[in-house]
Amino acid sequence: MIRIACGQGFWGDMLDAPVRQVNEGPIDYLMLDYLAEVTMSIMQKQRARDPRAGYARDFVPLMREILPACVERDIRVTANAGGVNPTGCAEAVRDVARELG
């Protein structure tokens, strides 16, 4: 049996649901959805002003909070938080992973 939990219905959604799912639920995968059409246009405008922007910035602190438990429990995280700058988002999450060891 594969157990899939879903959270983050939109960019800016409350962070406590995915945290609870990781910490309390027996799950194998955590799916997070940040994007909608209006979100993509907001991210594109942000990236036009700052080439490092363009992704769901709240994904990075969420990963900082849940990554240790995800590693310990072998929970896979799938998210579309990269928006119009998936490379920038991936780099930010890699930085968090390095900091956490």
Model confidence over 76-96: pLDDT tens digits?
A: 999 999 999 999 999 999 999
Average pLDDT of the segment spanning 69-75: 97
Which residues touch 83 (CB under 8 Å, ≥6 apart)?
34, 35, 39, 40, 43, 54, 55, 56, 89
Closest CA to 67 of 86, 84, 50, 92: 92
How wide is the angle at C-alpha 33 spanned by C-alphas 78 and 76, nearest 5°?
A: 15
Task: Enter the pTM of the model.
Answer: 0.90
